Amino acid sequence: MLARRAIRILPPRISLAAADEAVAGSVVSVTGTGQLSNDYLTIVAAAVTDGGRGAIAYTLKGSPVQVTVPGEAGACEIRYMSGWGDKVLARRAIKTVAADVTLAAPDEGVAGSNVPVTWSGPNNENDYITIVERSVPTAVARALPGLSAGRRFRLLRLANPVTARSVMSAATTTRCSPGGPSRLSRARSL
């Protein structure tokens, strides 16, 4: 070493702006300043420890950034994360609220037949309708065959009403929110 000079490293100046409230499972637009390469935004429940993450959206293309909100209602945080070490560089509170969801289906369906299901709700990406036996836990409903498109579930963006295949004799029609099949939004007995 021929020479040395001390420098002071300053934290990046990052700001985040977004709606104060969003429907669970929806996409929220986040604007801000301070985007660095490899950094990303995530939205998680407020109780999630630093370093934890949900769906992510990279900041490289600039502001605004579209980020998916968790599937559960409650207190959450938008977190600006360093792409180098997953450190939280900025955070902002956001409240997620439950989606208003309705289902309408016939009272009966023949096992193996098609059943029309009319629904209303936010129509988030990855929302789906499935028909399963009442005894099947919601968490495993996604793994069962049964719908006319994709065999596992019918994405709601495709149609309203959707036609679901009734594969069980005692069934419940369910509509789940994104984030996995354990996020049951509405059930209707068939």
- pLDDT, one tens digit per residue, over 131-187 is 666 666 665 555 544 443 333 344 444 455 556 555 444 444 444 434 443 444 555
**43/85: higher pLDDT:** 43
**183/3: higher pLDDT:** 3
Residue 89: how many other CB atoms lie within 10 Å: 16
Class of domain 15-97: mainly beta
Entry pTM: 0.69
- 67 falls in which pLDDT band (50, 70, 90)? very high
- The answer to whether 14 and 90 have CB atoms below 8 angstroms apart is yes
- pLDDT value of position 174: 45
Question: Domains of the chain: which residue ranges?
Answer: 15-97, 102-189
Alpha carbons within 13 angstroms on the beta-carbon side of residue 130 total 28
pLDDT at 115 over 60: yes
Measured over the CA atoms of residue 98, residue 89, residue 67 and residue 31, the dihedral's sign is positive
